[in-house]
Chains A and B, each alone.
Chain A
């Protein structure tokens, strides 16, 4: 039964994605400045013939609906046009960049969960202790800090002055990534290439922590408050009355229920994670989709903007869907 509902949900998400694609398509066309002029203008003296040729190539001489049709057809074929800046197919460019973004986002999520959840639980169990106050104070700070500044401070301290971590990028020069999943840390693990693993991890550390900082703070606070509520519940007293040891009461009973609001809130913050990607990637020179999008928008690289933003929006949609599914798994009272 649940599988059917999930499928239902996925199918309803499709028209939404289509709508988004259309929106992106339209918005990109709204970007001011004639792209051809901009592109040509960068290459110096060009003849009118060459300009016309480029215009034809980019289908910009056709009416808008036809451009849309061409685009959609290309989409089904996997052809998203060519990036002018990179002189490569868009699909390839974003295909290269996407795993980097995924790796960063996953790492940030992991950091946020691994640090935020235990802190939230401990703060609730030891309410008003020094730990609680400190934790809540720090997390308050965490949500008040802009990610770009935190990233720069981290780089200044750990990379520039202490030299513990590298300053930019995903890998140091001289280390060749294998062509496996595109997630270098994972690749390193899978191929048992310890040098790769270490290098990739060191590069991933600061960006992941920076990106995950705000989410960590949010998760810690939400977990704490929902744990506090759960611990007041009758079923907690009832469990204690059955002789259940306290740690089990906290984890099996209280946390099980407290996770529901936590997941909800964390899920809502996914957008922050994916949006914040752009900032963090730019600060750390992380070759991901976010940095790509920013650069493409600046450079008026239409095709690239289109493809990248669409992928972005789609990822967002899918992530939200996954959170929805997870939520219903946790809360037995709900149906999708």
Chain B
């Protein structure tokens, strides 16, 4: 398939994908490659600097925090949270948004009007505010966090799917399929969807980085993941108190975030570059 070949030759996409895979492996294999447990405290080693600084040692590659927890290990475990949350929330938003968007774009009429109004209303709130609010209402927890993140995120996919659906709906192949007596579900899923799935995927990839940042922000504020599970955002928050004497506590988890999001964005851009010229034609 020409698509794969083009993707491989896009440097940004390749680098991004490789890094993403690195993170995924790190997350999956965390229990085996992490030198310490996620909440293992070695009180004697509190606030040790990273290995490449004076005073650091190999046993704590990226240093420790004020509770003696190994930062490197916690970053590995934190990868699981971020990746899981990011992937799940994007997938759910994508699915929900696409389904609703296709429905709205295909049937139009009052269904479309209602859904669009709801979408507009939701868009009327800033994302973070909304999510914080939602989290405060439904309470902390993994599942709740994902729900809260999806609550508003589906709107973007909805709009895209709806827009594409409206555009495709007037095209001849849809008419032809209808003339053949195919049902609406078959038409949407079988005929139209394959044509618009490209733009949806590109959007999904590009939004995933955003979701991960959102999750990190929520953890930073203390909402979201229960504190027992290490998350990059809360790690950075913990580092706030150590700004003067142990800068690595806040910096390292942040770098992890930046690395992952950067890689995802690069991959997403590469995906778009490869798919876009084809899409526009």
Residues of A within 8 A of B (CB): 16, 19-20, 23, 27, 30-32, 140-141, 143-149, 152-153, 155-156, 160, 271-272, 274-276, 278-279, 282-283, 293-294, 297-298, 309, 312-313, 316-317, 320
Contact = CB atoms under 8 A, between A and B. Distances in A.
A20 B261 CA distance: 33
Contacts of B240: 152, 283
10 contacts: A27-B137, A31-B137, A140-B265, A140-B269, A144-B261, A146-B257, A149-B216, A152-B236, A283-B240, A294-B221
Contacts of B132: 278, 293-294, 297
A309 B129 contact: yes
Contacts of A152: 236, 239-240, 243, 250, 254
A140 B262 contact: yes
B79 to A, nearest CB: 15
A149 B244 contact: no
Contacts, number: 111
Given A156-B247, A282-B221, 12 more contacts: A20-B121, A30-B137, A146-B258, A148-B233, A152-B240, A153-B251, A160-B243, A271-B126, A274-B129, A294-B221, A298-B136, A313-B125
Contacts of B221: 278-279, 282, 294
B209 A144 contact: yes
A159 B229 CA distance: 31
Interface of A is mostly: helix
Interface residues of B, number: 38
A148 B136 contact: no
B124 A316 contact: yes
B234 to A, nearest CB: 11
Interface in B14-48: none
Contacts of B222: 298
Nearest to B263: A144
Nearest to B255: A149
Given A149-B258, A297-B136, A155 B243 contact: yes
B69 to A, nearest CB: 19
A156 B243 contact: yes
Nearest to B262: A144
A294 B237 CA distance: 15
Nearest to A147: B217
B124 A317 contact: yes
Given A146-B213, A146-B217, A146-B257, A32 B137 contact: yes
A30 to B, nearest CB: 5
A149 B236 contact: yes
A298 B236 CA distance: 20
Contacts of A274: 126, 129
A312 B127 CA distance: 12
